[in-house]
Structure 1
Amino acid sequence: MASIDICICTFRRPFLTETLRSVARLDAGGHDVRVIVADNDETPSARKRVQGMLDEMPFATTYLHAPAANICIARNACLDAASGDFLAFIDDDETVSEGWLLALLDKARSEKASAVLGPVRAIYPPEAPDWMTEGDFHSTLPVYVNGTIRTGYTCNVLMRWHAPLRGLRFDTRLGRSGGEDTDFFYRLRAMGGTIAYAPDAVVAEPVTAQRATMAWLVQRRLRFGQTHGMLMSGSRFRAMPKVAAKIAYCGAMTGLTVLSPVARRRNWLRAMLHIGVASSLLGHRTAEHYGQPTAS
């Protein structure tokens, strides 16, 4: 039997209650599970919410106050508190499926992976536009490059928590702009770690009205691109012609697919990604997105 710490970072989000209720319904397979909630607000605003859930939790649950408004501070507080053989991260606006944890653990063992990612399935509200639900622009899946997953995300992941990985921490300089998880998993890979994918380890994330817009998707892709540009190795100026060519290609494809609501937007978002890369290569500062008030 393994010991597993499930870590949830939170910032003023009432949906945390639903997240914890889904964790309470997990099939843990007899493993020793502990839940760690790290509250990133200036004041311990989530403390009462967590304490109110303790009677429903079948697992030991620890509350940490890890201020303030920098997600890396909360994530690092989870890493400092973790003592299990494995450590998992999910977000405070998600719910996990009953077999989520065992699916991640089985894949970690079968592939001897350092980290295992699972899919985050977007749940769209009835009023979401047809192009958005058809294109499923909000779900999160790993990206393969030449058959290999090179980086990861913290919205659905299980990691082996042993040396030398225990020394890894999230870069607090990225804790308000985003990209800290991408950077973390790049460094995990650089230390010899491997990343696998467990398609059955499903997590669901409702898409809020604030996020169900093209403007939000554009900002998200720009940020992803800025993170990628920041982490690129080699000469930045040497990379610019290739990035510019990708922008031009995606722009052209946007025009060619103008009659397709899904394909047009998908191509435009790819262009935004590469524009974000170019922005980072040119030294533009990444905007801060984390730490703003959130809605349920």
Structure 2
Amino acid sequence: MDLPENCDVRCLIVENDDEARMRSVITAQPVLNNGVALDYVLETEAGIPFGRNRAAKEALARGDDLLVFVDDDETVAQDWLVKLVNGYRNSDAVLLGGPVRIAPPSVKLTRLQAAIHDSLIRRHQKKEKRAQEKAARSTNPEITIATNNWIAETRLFSDENIWFDENMRFSGGTDTKLYQTVKAKGFVTGWIKDAYAYETLPVERLSFRYQFQRASAHGNTSFLRKLSKKPQSRYTLFLRIPVKVIQFTFLALLIPFARGDALLKLAQKSGIFYGKLTAALGKRPPQHYSQTTGY
């Protein structure tokens, strides 16, 4: 990985477990081949927001100005960090993100898995195109910044007291909530179109069930936030049930003809709507990340 000019760069691994299982692997090479020091900390409080907040606390303890996140199932382009930092320096944004592309599969996939994988690739391509179009029209675009490709000023944590919500321990969506909080406070956010990260999808995620469950968790958490501001939204949601049933039936009929796109849409759209319905009925988000596969 190339390094940006006039930057003191350190890499940090936050292991989220009850004991240090990976310390020896990570500390075996305390300095990477490009000269960057590699740090390791153990966060024993289980849950994604605890791991993310621990990274922020470590950055603040060192006096760092910027914090960068990338997921552990991703690789990055060689100039990724250079692009991120230059994008930050050339904007007024305090929180910025970049595109995540789907990497080629590392194992042979079944026909169903391949159909979902290819459909996810097309979905990411459309999402990236929409983000680029929004960024071209505005210096403060409405593009949700997720921690899979993320750079922000650490003062958001120290000065503004904006943190990842630890009450959402296993449900997911805390990065979306943090982004929305940053926007609500009037800060500028940005998009760096050529800072690429690449995600490798494990086969466990290439199923209808997984895509449905993940969408359901996100639908639940997002609708709970909406209900906190507009409680009457639950009633309009119930009125939409007949229309949604027709829509989902139509998508099911398209599955044999749509190269996996209809299957993925059915899983995600029905999952989101189901998650909203459970939120409207007063149920908390499912603990989507309570069990992990190592990815």
Q: Is the 8 A contact 1:26 1:99 kept in 2?
A: yes
Cα drift, residue 179 of structure 1? 1.5
* Residue type of the alignment partner of 1:78: A
Query: Deviation per CA, 1:73-113, whole angstroms, max 9, x where unpaired?
Result: 11111111113221111111211111111212222233311
Normalised TM-score (structure 2): 0.81
Q: Structure 1 residues 284 and 188 mapped into 2: Cα distance closer, same or farther (>3 Å)?
A: same
Distance (whole Å) between structure 1 residues aligned to residue 117 and residue 191 of structure 2: 24
Q: Is the 8 A contact 1:177 1:290 kept in 2?
A: yes
In structure 1, the residue matched to 2:138 is: none
* Residue type of the alignment partner of 1:74: G
Distance (whole Å) between structure 1 residues aligned to residue 278 and residue 57 of structure 2: 34
Distance (whole Å) between structure 2 residues aligned to residue 166 and residue 61 of structure 1: 28
SS in 2 for 1:173: coil
In structure 2, the residue matched to 1:127 is: 108
Identify which range, 69-78 or 256-265, moves more after superposition: 256-265
Normalised TM-score (structure 1): 0.81
CA RMSD of aligned residues (A): 2.7
In structure 2, the residue matched to 1:289 is: 288
Distance (whole Å) between structure 1 residues aligned to residue 159 and residue 273 of structure 2: 31
* Residue type of the alignment partner of 1:38: V
4+ residue segments displaced more than 4 Å? 137-144, 163-166
Cα drift, residue 26 of structure 1? 3.0
Corresponding residue to 1:149 among 142, 150, 154: 142
In structure 2, the residue matched to 1:41 is: 17
In structure 1, the residue matched to 2:72 is: 92
Cα drift, residue 157 of structure 1? 0.4
Cα drift, residue 252 of structure 1? 4.4
**2:232 equivalent to 1:267:** no
Q: Structure 1 residues 210 and 134 mapped into 2: Cα distance closer, same or farther (>3 Å)?
A: closer
Q: Structure 1 residues 293 and 247 mapped into 2: Cα distance closer, same or farther (>3 Å)?
A: same
Q: Is the 8 A contact 1:229 1:277 kept in 2?
A: yes
Q: Is the 8 A contact 2:217 2:288 kept in 1?
A: no
Give the length in aligned residue pairs.
Answer: 271
Unaligned runs of 5+ in 2: 135-140
Identity of aligned residues (%): 22
Distance (whole Å) between structure 1 residues aligned to residue 242 and residue 149 of structure 2: 33
Corresponding residue to 2:230 among 228, 231, 234: 234
> Structure 2 matches for 1:105-120, cutoff 5 A?
105-120=85-100
Identify which range, 134-143 or 93-102, moves more after superposition: 134-143
Looking at secondary structure, tell me which structure has more strand per residue: 1
Looking at secondary structure, tell me which structure has more helix per residue: 2
Cα drift, residue 150 of structure 1? 5.3
> Structure 2 matches for 1:206-285, cutoff 5 A?
206-232=200-226, 233-235=229-231, 236-241=233-238, 244=241, 247-248=244-245, 250-255=247-252, 257-258=254-255, 259-268=257-266, 269-285=268-284
